[in-house]
């Protein structure tokens, strides 16, 4: 389905710059207010994703997919973790932050409003709360972290909501990395 028929995630109430990447400005300049990166691998090669992660000096990639499998070579959990390890980047799969199956099905049929409602409800589950707390703790440590999911456009991906929550809880700035197209 064409993106023109899809509904993007509702706009968040923070400053956004749009260039090759967008950035949510941190609330404060404290040491813990580092940057949180996000990246989608749709229409990208593993090499292009790795290049963006290295350019941003990411130390930990957090996979936010409910199912860390992909038909795209290099993006299934084991292949991705091995490739990251070769580049000196750690990998963590926070499965409970992924969109539930019914949310993914709604997104695939262009019903983004339904997907956002399902995902908002999912974020209130104990597993998602625990995973979010773990992510917030990691980000507060100051480590350069990047959230990964499939969707290239962050406005159509749940990782934008995760990043928004982390920003709200930590003041961390958010930068969307955009890998080169294949």
Residue 174 near residue 167, CB atoms below 8 Å: yes
Q: Is the pLDDT of residue 117 over 60?
A: yes
72 is a domain residue: yes
* Nearest C-alpha neighbor of 82 from the set 73, 152, 98, 127: 73
As for how many domains the chain has, the answer is: 1
What percent of the chain is modeled with pLDDT above 70? 82
110 is a domain residue: yes
Q: Is the pLDDT of residue 128 over 60?
A: yes
pLDDT tier at 2, thresholds 50, 70, 90: very low
Across 93-122, average pLDDT: 96
173 is a domain residue: yes
Question: At 112, which CATH number?
Answer: 3.40.1010.10
* Nearest C-alpha neighbor of 52 from the set 165, 163, 181, 172: 181
- CA–CA separation, 14 and 12 (whole Å): 6
List the 16-18 sheet strands across, edge first. Answer: 16-18, 22-24, 173-177, 35-40, 145-149, 60-63, 90-93
pLDDT per position as a tens digit, 10-62 = 543 333 333 333 444 444 434 444 789 999 999 999 999 999 999 999 999 99
19 is a domain residue: no
Range of the domain at 172: 33-177
23 is a domain residue: no
3 is a domain residue: no
């Amino acid at each position: 389905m064409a993106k023109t028929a899809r509904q993007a995630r509702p706009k968040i109430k923070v400053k956004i710059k749009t260039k090759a990447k967008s950035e949510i400005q941190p609330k404060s300049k404290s040491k813990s207010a580092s940057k949180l990166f996000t990246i989608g691998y749709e229409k990208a090669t593993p090499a292009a994703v790795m290049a963006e992660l290295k350019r941003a000096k990411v130390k930990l990639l957090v996979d936010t997919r409910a199912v860390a499998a992909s038909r795209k070579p290099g993006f299934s959990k084991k292949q991705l973790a091995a490739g990251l390890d070769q580049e000196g980047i750690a990998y963590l799969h926070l499965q409970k932050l992924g969109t539930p199956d019914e949310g993914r099905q709604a997104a695939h049929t262009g019903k983004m409003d339904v997907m956002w409602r399902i995902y908002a409800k999912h974020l209130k589950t104990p597993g998602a709360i625990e995973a979010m707390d773990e992510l917030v703790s990691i980000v507060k440590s100051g480590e350069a972290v990047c959230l990964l999911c499939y969707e290239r456009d962050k406005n159509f991906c749940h990782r934008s909501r995760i990043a928004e929550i982390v920003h709200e809880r930590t003041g961390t700035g958010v930068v969307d990395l955009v890998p080169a197209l294949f």
